[in-house]
Structure 1
């Protein structure tokens, strides 16, 4: 790179006269049309140290995996987070499989369009008969080959039935929904505890 030399007084005067007549390429009406000598650049502000995004890593240290965040929690977790609206002792007996369901419906193998009206009919009839605990069997769903990058959950009925039980016309009839005990079908069935009429 060639070394810069200082301008002589004549050259500096010539440069100033040329700079006065020059207009900026992007003319702005609020700025003056003549360009003066360039203003000195402002001194940079002192750097502030921020927290490092990653924790320090030592050479002999094992890799720490970050905690996994599941954006769509599993169905048993969602049902377990629901508020308890029935007697706690009865709920404990029910979840341990010590209460026998008074009636059951098997939706296993039905489509969503077939299962929804059957479930409505069954729940409303059971409540009209004065039953309290019924069993809704949905099945666990068929496992399919994973065909793409987006995971899909198995068991359309298994995931849809708890939503149907919260919506009208079934919502006012249902007091509590929990996953059934293993002896009554486990994750492929639900205990539905009904309100008294």
Structure 2
């Protein structure tokens, strides 16, 4: 078992680096939470289209399509990053991490602050998720006209590259002495479980 003694405010607390499996389960739980919230955003986006078209009786106004795109973009570009940043700064844990009883901390055991959370979220799964969600939003809102096919392919390619980097970064965990993923290294953080 990999362990470390860290100074936590005024006392010595024994913590253990979170295992790859524990972190993976926490991530899957976060994805489930995020998909549930996405379903709400998606429902609101398309409910307003249904209402504005008299439930399919009239043509969809461009403003309804753009409103749906803005609602979905709000999820991608505002909610997703704020979910991670807000919870890490507030509790040092996302919902999945709370369920698995693990915390994100600095290497010295102190809680992370806003700048560290922003760096960590930039290196985490949020960027690939934003690109993939943007692609899905473009396709779902009917914006996939001929002029936008190139944009969609670029978004898809960038999203796939970012996802591949994230997967490789996550697969570093079992082989790293401090069980750090790429985003942990970028933000100089570790994920610990209390002992």
Alignment TM-score > 0.5, same fold: no
Q: RCO greater where, 1 or 2, for CA within 8 Å and sep 6 or more?
A: 2
Rg: which structure is higher? 1
Which has the larger helix fraction? 2
Q: TM-score range by the shorter chain?
A: under 0.3
